């Protein structure tokens, strides 16, 4: 987005939350400093909304840092907000220019994803130190816990730590989250000018979306008494608002594909092998004209498929005997040999052919299931819904197919941010950060492949030989099956 700049100041002239920031126009004289900051704040909010929609973590952080800087500047010029911006001192105009540059910087990196760690902290401390802020100006310098991971337990507590002069003794500060006040034991002093918010899970859990980033507003109102210059005049109460946008990580922001490779025994009909029969000693039948019956049998190797008789061998005189037609047995073939030589012995055998056993490796898609009671789903219906989040129909390269059927070789896992709403609903398998899941494999499992894709597009591959520093994974060989346990680690 190219800006037209006058005196180094720009702002969005559109509504507070357009689908995308409106074209930036030039600020002209005759506009109050308060309205300039209002325009800046609307643009920063629009950038935050767009970055949240597109899972652009870097842009989200930059825009939310800009919000903190806007609030700091508003506090610094609190008693000059009604002045035209071009009538301010050069130091104050420099503060407005710094805000303008921060917003432009956030706009330039729109679409850049970054990592989850990028959005955990909001920090304008360096900017405040280098810009000409008044020494006693009310500021919020840093927000730790500016991105939150869903905690399913009903007694969960979300911790956000705020640092700034507004928590000093001269200020009266009030805080709300999602429009609800934080007070009493939920406000814990954590050192000079630093306070820790303990936000009950019940206040935030409903704000998390399933597979998309979302936000919740943390509003800080701080008031202080400003004494008149040289003691002339009366005290003045100044109130400054510090809006902070907390980013909520998707409740189930990871899609997965788990494939098991298992061995099966098959008959290899492409191979035919010979089982040589054992030599059987047949003595002479005893007197001229006699016939002596002898049964000769050969078994194929266990589990193979018998094909037929390939040879009936006789060692000894070339005549005076006969074979009956071979007959099939459950394990091979037999044939009856008739000895007609009364004074000579022979060695006879029966050779058979067979198709041998072979080991084949097949593959199937395996479902993960929650390895814990879903504590955020106390009712049976909610528990079922939580389980269904994990086991949905998979999107196999755009073609939906039930997961419990054999899977095609190529399974597409697309970043959620790049999917249409219909495609999102077709994805089979959502996982949440910090939660434990298990899958049961066949005892004949020889290998597995787990592909995880976060909502930011980051891909992780896990198998028996390779793990991921972002996922705890363990494989157990149990009595009659194998079990995989995985936990996507909390990113913060």
Residue by residue, DSSP assigns 383-418 as: HHHHHHHHS--EEETTEEE-TTSPPPS------GGG
Both 182 and 48 in a single domain?
yes
Both 335 and 444 in a single domain?
no
* Contact (Cβ atoms closer than 8 angstroms) between residue 184 and residue 155: no
Q: Assess whether pLDDT exceeds 90 at residue 395.
A: no
Both 200 and 348 in a single domain?
no
Query: Which residue range forms the structural domain that includes residue 333?
Result: 269-355
Cβ neighbour number for residue 17 with a 10 Å cutoff: 12
Please state, in angstroms and rounded to a whole number, the distance separating the CA atoms of residues 22 and 291: 109
Residue 4 in domain: no
The pLDDT assigned to 231 comes to 66
More confident residue, 365 or 262: 262
Q: Assess whether pLDDT exceeds 70 at residue 413.
A: no
Both 62 and 181 in a single domain?
yes
Residue 366 in domain: yes
* Total of domains in the chain: 3
> What is the average per-residue pLDDT within 141-158?
90
Residue 2 in domain: no
Among residues 473, 472, 469, 491, the alpha carbon closest in space to that of 482 is found at 473
Among residues 148, 146, 100, 92, the alpha carbon closest in space to that of 123 is found at 146
Both 326 and 374 in a single domain?
no
Both 302 and 351 in a single domain?
yes
pTM metric for this prediction: 0.72
Residue 459 in domain: yes
Both 464 and 480 in a single domain?
yes
CA-CA-CA-CA torsion sign (317, 318, 319, 322): positive
Confidence of residue 69 (pLDDT cuts 50, 70, 90): very high
Both 173 and 73 in a single domain?
yes
**pLDDT tens per residue across span 311-334:** 999 998 888 999 999 999 999 999
Both 407 and 279 in a single domain?
no
Residue 17 in domain: yes
Both 86 and 197 in a single domain?
yes
Both 66 and 45 in a single domain?
yes
Residue 1 in domain: no
Q: Residue 324: which CATH number?
A: 2.60.40
Task: Choose the final residue of a domain: 355, 383, 411.
Answer: 355
Residue 5 in domain: no
Q: Assess whether pLDDT exceeds 50 at residue 348.
A: yes
Tokens of 376: 């955020």
Residue 41 in domain: yes
């Amino acid at each position: 987005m190219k800006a037209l700049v006058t005196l180094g100041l720009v702002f969005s002239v559109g509504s507070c939350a357009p689908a995308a920031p409106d074209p930036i126009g030039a600020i002209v004289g005759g506009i109050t400093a308060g309205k300039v900051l209002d325009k800046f704040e609307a643009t920063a909010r629009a950038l935050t909304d767009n970055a949240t929609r597109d899972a652009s973590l870097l842009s989200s952080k930059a825009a939310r840092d800009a919000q903190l800087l806007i609030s700091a500047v508003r506090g610094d010029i609190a008693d000059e907000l009604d002045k035209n911006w071009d009538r301010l001192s050069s130091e104050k105009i420099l503060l407005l220019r710094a805000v303008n540059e921060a917003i432009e910087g956030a706009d330039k990196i729109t679409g850049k994803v970054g990592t989850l760690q990028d959005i955990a902290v909001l920090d304008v401390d360096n900017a405040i130190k280098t810009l000409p802020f008044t020494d006693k100006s009310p500021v919020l310098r840093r927000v730790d816990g500016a991105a939150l991971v869903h905690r399913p337990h009903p007694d969960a507590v979300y911790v956000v730590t705020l640092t700034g002069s507004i928590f000093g003794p001269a200020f009266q500060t009030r805080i709300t989250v999602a429009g609800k006040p934080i007070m009493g034991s939920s406000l814990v002093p954590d050192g000079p000018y630093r306070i820790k918010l303990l936000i009950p899970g019940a206040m935030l859990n409903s704000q998390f979306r399933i597979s998309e980033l979302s936000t919740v507003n943390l509003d800080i109102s701080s008031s202080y008494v400003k004494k008149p210059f040289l003691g002339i005049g009366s005290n003045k109460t100044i109130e400054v608002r510090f809006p902070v946008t907390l980013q909520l990580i998707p409740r189930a922001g990871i899609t997965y594909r788990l494939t098991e490779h298992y061995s099966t025994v098959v008959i290899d009909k492409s191979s035919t092998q010979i089982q040589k029969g054992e030599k059987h000693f047949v003595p002479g039948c005893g007197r001229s004209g006699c016939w002596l019956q002898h049964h000769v049998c050969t078994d194929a190797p266990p589990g193979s498929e018998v094909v037929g008789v390939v040879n009936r061998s006789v060692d000894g005189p070339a005549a005076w005997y006969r074979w009956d037609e071979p007959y099939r047995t459950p394990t091979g073939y037999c044939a009856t040999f008739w000895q007609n030589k009364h004074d000579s012995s022979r060695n006879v055998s029966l050779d058979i052919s067979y198709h041998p056993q072979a080991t084949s490796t097949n593959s199937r898609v395996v479902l993960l299931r929650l390895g814990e009671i879903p504590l955020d789903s106390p009712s049976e219906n909610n528990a079922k819904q939580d389980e269904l989040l994990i086991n949905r129909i998979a999107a196999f390269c755009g073609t939906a197919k039930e997961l419990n059927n054999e899977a095609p070789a190529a399974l597409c896992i697309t970043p959620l941010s790049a999917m249409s709403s219909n495609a999102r609903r077709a994805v089979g398998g959502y996982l949440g950060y910090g939660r434990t899941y298990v899958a049961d494999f066949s005892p004949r499992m020889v290998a597995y492949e787990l592909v995880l894709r976060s909502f930011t597009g980051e891909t992780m591959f896990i198998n028996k030989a390779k793990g991921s520093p972002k996922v705890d994974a363990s494989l157990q060989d149990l009595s009659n099956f194998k079990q995989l346990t995985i936990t996507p680690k909390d990113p913060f």
